[in-house]
Structure 1
Amino acid sequence: MYINKHNRETDPERLLQFMQAHSFALFITTGENGMPMATHLPIELVVSADGPHKLVGHLAKANPQWKTLVPETPALVVFSGPHAYISSSWYDHPNVPTWNYLSVQASGRTRILSDDETLALLRIQLDRYEAASQHPVSVDSLTEAYVRREMRGVVAFEMTIDTLEGAAKLSQNRDDKNHAAIVAQLRQQSDPNARRIADEMAARRQPPDRL
């Protein structure tokens, strides 16, 4: 993806943490006809200490996108975070409006998971997303036999990450006065995304490049 030099996220740990925190992502592949196919779904990051990191998820079998997952299919996963509109009126000089945001993109090659690997993925996802429930369910509480029957309706996949890029567009190129004005205006917005962007801007503030 295009990333301005001011906005490139280069901290590997921050990229991994972002993917874990924003796991509802956009999974994109290309069909035989050359047309892209995309599905929004939860995707889990599997961190490896001695090899490439991986992403795992599953598609509904009724979703024809799973048929693009032939061995070594190239794929793209987009993780999106908070974003906010930046008004021209917030500057002390004429300027165009823009949009601040956080995003990570991962690309790599896919393979379809076995039944046992699919069961392990569903166990991880249920344990993670049910953790905050008052009465959490699990593979064991649903019974493994029941989950395996339901697995007939899904196709799970793994993507080995070849490239990982992050964008943190947070008005890094603005001078202190205008940067502070943008933060102040965002904190006055009712949209929680705007306030989250303001917090990120303040936390990450570095002196702008001196040209």
Structure 2
Amino acid sequence: MFTPAQYANKDLDEIKDFLAKNSFGILVNQVDGKPWATHIPLELDLDSDRNDILVGHIAKANPQGHHFIENTQVLCIFNGPHSYVSSSWYKEEEVPTWNYIAVHVYGTLRIQTEEALLASLHKLVDKYEQGSKQPISLANMSAKTMRQIKGIIGFEIKITAIQATYKLSQGREQDHPKIISELEERENSGSKAIAKCMRKD
């Protein structure tokens, strides 16, 4: 990912927090010599050696899984908020632009055992059921329902590199108050979220 120096975020704690809160990502590998992408939850976790990993699963029917080779490199893409920024909000004439947050994670893939897959599914469901009025647990599901695990492939990705772009009108600090106020007046959630991120910086 091309990231001009002023937009690069090197704060690993902030990036990890972003990944935990924006875990619905895009897994990319090669299928028959072409890029292939699947939109799935990719959860940040730690392996037994306390190394950062991403954990996920896909359907066995997905051709992507047929090309899962141990230790092959994959790319995971995570998108945060984004918004159009009008140059009418600037003090001086300039072209409009787009503010956004995006993180690319590179790593090597390893297929999970069925035991590890089941443990990761329990963690996944427990995490997202916390906000439910009547949370469910995989522990309470029947053996018949849980047989569906046979139709998926679980995997772990050992993280080897992270690129994080936080494009938040850096270099135009004199225009930030106006940009933020205009973004906050917009109806879409992305604009409001970008304004909130700009207020932090």
- Which residue of structure 2 aligns with residue 122 of structure 1? 121
- 1:207 counterpart residue number: none
Secondary structure (helix, strand or coil) at the match of 2:148 reads helix
User: What pairs with 1:9-24 in structure 2 (closer than 5 Å)?
Assistant: 9-24=9-24
In 1, Cα distance between equivalents of 2:186 and 2:13: 30
Secondary structure, counterpart of 2:5 in structure 1? coil
Q: In the TM superposition, what is the alpha-carbon distance from 1:47 to its structure 2 partner?
A: 3.3
Match of 2:173 in 1: 175
Contact 1:52 1:162 in 2 (8 A): no
Q: Does 1:69 align with 2:68?
A: yes
Q: What is the aligned partner in structure 2 of residue 194 from structure 1? A: 191
Q: Which moved more, 1:146-155 or 1:191-200?
A: 146-155
Aligned residue among 145, 148, 151 for 1:150: 148
Q: Secondary structure at the match of 2:179?
A: helix
Normalising by structure 2, report the TM-score: 0.95
In the alignment, the residues of structure 1 paired with residue 163 and residue 173 of structure 2 have an alpha-carbon distance, to the nearest angstrom, of: 26
What are the equivalent positions in structure 2 for 1:39-54 lying under 5 Å apart?
39-47=38-46, 51-54=50-53
Name the CA distance, whole Å, in 1 between partners of 2:13 and 2:61. Answer: 36
The amino acid across from 1:161 in the alignment is I
Rounded Cα–Cα distance in structure 2 between residues aligned with 1:203 and 1:196: 11
Deviations 1:81-108 (A, max 9, x none): 1100011221122211111011111101
User: Aligned residue pairs: how many?
Assistant: 201
What is the CA deviation profile of residues 48-68 of structure 1, one whole-angstrom value per residue up to 9, with x for unaligned ones?
696431001000111111111
Amino acid at match of 2:132: S
* Displacement of 1:148: 4.2
Amino acid at match of 2:177: A
Q: Is the 8 A contact 1:139 1:147 kept in 2?
A: no
Counterpart in the other structure of 1:136: 135
Separation of aligned partners in 2, 1:148 and 1:182:
50
State the percentage of identical aligned residues. Answer: 36
Displaced runs of 4 or more, over 2 A: 47-52, 145-148
Q: CA RMSD in A?
A: 1.5
Q: Hey, what's the Cα distance between the residues in 2 that align with 1:147 and 1:4?
A: 49
Aligned residue for 2:158, secondary structure, equals strand
Gaps spanning 5+ residues in structure 2: where? none
Matched-pair contact (CA < 8 Å) for 1:186–1:197: yes
